[in-house]
Amino acid sequence: MIHERLMDHQQPRTAAEVSADLSAALPDRTVGGPVVRSTLEQLVAKGRVSRSRQGRTVYYTAVGSAEPVEDSSAKTAE
């Protein structure tokens, strides 16, 4: 869901901006900033999001398509 929100924007976004966007899109759910930041960092580690810094501010940008990444462990051996 966070990756899709980043894909909707052309400019890099901060974790706070992504969190605010999710809160507006999902008013019935509580979206915590630390959870969004942690998820963004996990996406960076997987290569689905890139991270850049300007001073003390960290910006995140989606990489690639919004399609789910296929889990190679789910494939069956033939």
What CATH code is carried by the domain that includes residue 50? 1.10.10.10
pLDDT value at position 74?
43
For tokens 């509580």, what's the residue? 30
Which of these, 63, 44, 47, lies nearest to 6 by C-alpha position?
Answer: 63
Rounded to whole angstroms, the Cα distance separating 7 from 19 reads 14
Task: Let me know if residue 72 belongs to a domain.
Answer: no
The answer to the question of residue 57 being in a domain is yes
CA distance 14 to 53: 10
pLDDT digits (tens, 9 = 90+) for 3-28: 888 888 888 999 999 999 999 888 89
Q: If you average pLDDT over every residue of the chain, what do you get? A: 82
Parent domain of 23: 2-65
